[in-house]
Amino acid sequence: MISIPDKVPRKKRIVLGPLSRKLLQLSKWDITGEFPNYKKIILIGAPHTANRDAWYALLAILALDLKINFFGAKWIFTRLPSLYTFSKDVDRLGIPWPLGWLQKIILLKLGGIPVYRNKSKGLIKGAIEEFSKIDEYVLCIAPEAGTEQVKKFRSGFYYLAKELNIPYLPVELDFKNRRFHVQKEQFVTKSFEEESEKIISLFEGVNGALREFTMLEETEQTD
Q: What is the pLDDT of residue 73?
A: 78
Q: What is the pLDDT of residue 77?
A: 87
Please, what's the b/e burial string for 196-221 (b: 16 or more CB within 10 A of its CB; e: otherwise)?
Answer: beebbeebeebbbeeeebebeeeeee
pLDDT digits (tens, 9 = 90+) for 18-37: 999 999 999 999 999 999 99
- Please state the pTM of the whole predicted model: 0.84
Quick check: 116 pLDDT over 90? no
Please report the DSSP string for 82-124 in residue order: -SS---S-TTS-SEE-TTHHHHHHHHHHTTEEEE-GGG-TTHH
Q: What is the pLDDT of residue 219?
A: 52
pLDDT digits (tens, 9 = 90+) for 194-219: 999 999 999 999 999 999 999 987 65
Q: What is the pLDDT of residue 51?
A: 85
Residue scoring higher pLDDT (28 or 72):
28
Q: What is the pLDDT of residue 157?
A: 92
Question: What integer best gives the mean pLDDT of the chain?
Answer: 89
Other CB atoms within 10 Å distance of the CB of residue 9: 20
Tell me the C-alpha distance between 118 and 202, whole Å: 32
Tell me the C-alpha distance between 143 and 167, whole Å: 15
Quick check: 120 pLDDT over 70? no
Position 222 confidence tier, pLDDT thresholds 50, 70, 90:
very low
